[in-house]
Homo-oligomer: A and B are copies of this chain.
Amino acid sequence: MKPRVGKTANREFVGKLGERSIIETMKKYFDVMPESPVPFGDDVAAAPIDSECIAVLKTDMLVDKTDVPVGMSLQQAARKAIVMNVSDFAAKGVQPLAALVSLGLPRRLCEADVEEIAKGLNRGAREYGAFLVGGDTGEASDLIIAVSLYGTAIKSRLVLRSGAKADDILAVTGLFGKPPAGLRLLSGKCEVSHELNKTLVDSVFMPKARLREGLALAASGSVTSSIDSSDGLALSLHELSRMSGVGFVVDKVPIADEALRFVECCEVDALDLTLYGGEEYELVVTVDPEFWSKAEVAVEKVGGKLLPIGRVTREKTIILEINGKSSQIEARGWEHFKSEA
């Protein structure tokens, strides 16, 4: 995307700094809620209900020009706006109950477009057991779908980003690489078989939040920290590292077969695709080794899989160890604004 030109072009803070820096900048000006159950910047926010129970809150915004790839229908885009939020609830092990939507609609849309958006929102919410309970619309230049989710949780059971301890097992709820491969296919940079194309593109158009897995993991009491991977596996690891004050050694690269087949056709680096891709919806968790079997069984019982990919270390470095070779996993991935600059 080309930056706008004009007299303010040289001030392009938003374009240059990326989402994380903007949130850090803003946070400085926010008074902190006393006894806030969740620190600012975790996957979800929260407010106390009583001494035991908390309200879990989340807002995440879809903007067509950065979050809706070419070919994605309006219904799929609206559903995705819900799934993006559900994925964060999944990471914390919280059932979403109610969703609200603030909708910015470009003037050119017709009634059928609005109906498609409504269908997608309802579909996304119902897939994960939530209901749309309210919303707001206004005119905007872009299509904007800002979803807010609400649920409740027992405060002591909420899985934060900050609880990982040295020697915990690092695990993921599934394999990576399909959505970033799909995005590359959609941008027309490469071609693969019809069947592989469909699988990879579908992973972009119809993302699935790992809610069942997240709920099962939280209920098992075995998880020490958790995050979703919408900005990519590498950034999720760096975020867990920062919030928990630990590091990681990754000794298995969790790449999907379909992503490997894509890599073979399209001259893309497999590691790059797996670690730095983004638009992923797997959960990245750390598990107390004493309770590993409990965690594994809990996820299998809901039809999922928990895949160990490494371990938590005391040193705050994030290292990939494959075939006896060590390298740093960098803090980069797909981030709003920056990747587009």
Contact = CB atoms under 8 A, between A and B. Distances in A.
A192 to B, nearest CB: 30
Oligomer copy total: 2
B104 A150 contact: no
Contact of A14 (B55, B65, B109, B131): B109
A148 B59 contact: yes
Interface centre among A115, A148, A152 (most CB of B within 10 A): A148
A162 to B, nearest CB: 15
A152 B28 CA distance: 27
B98 A137 contact: no
Given A45-B100, A148-B148, 20 more contacts: A12-B108, A14-B105, A17-B111, A19-B138, A25-B111, A29-B115, A29-B121, A30-B118, A30-B132, A31-B131, A36-B131, A49-B55, A55-B98, A59-B148, A61-B137, A63-B104, A104-B104, A104-B140, A139-B336, A144-B144
A335 B53 CA distance: 39
A122 interface: yes
18 contacts: A6-B108, A14-B105, A17-B111, A19-B138, A26-B114, A27-B118, A28-B118, A30-B118, A31-B132, A45-B98, A55-B55, A57-B150, A59-B102, A60-B102, A66-B139, A104-B142, A139-B337, A140-B140
Interface string A114-158: 110111011001100001111111111110101010101000000
Contact of A32 (B115, B131, B337): B131
Given A45-B100, A61-B146, A67-B138, A8 B133 contact: no
A197 to B, nearest CB: 28
B108 A49 contact: no
Contacts of A119: 29
Interface string A5-29: 0101101111101010011011111
Contacts of A29: 115, 118-119, 121-122
Given A134-B59, A136-B59, A148-B148, A107 B31 contact: no
B57 A118 contact: no
A59 B122 contact: no
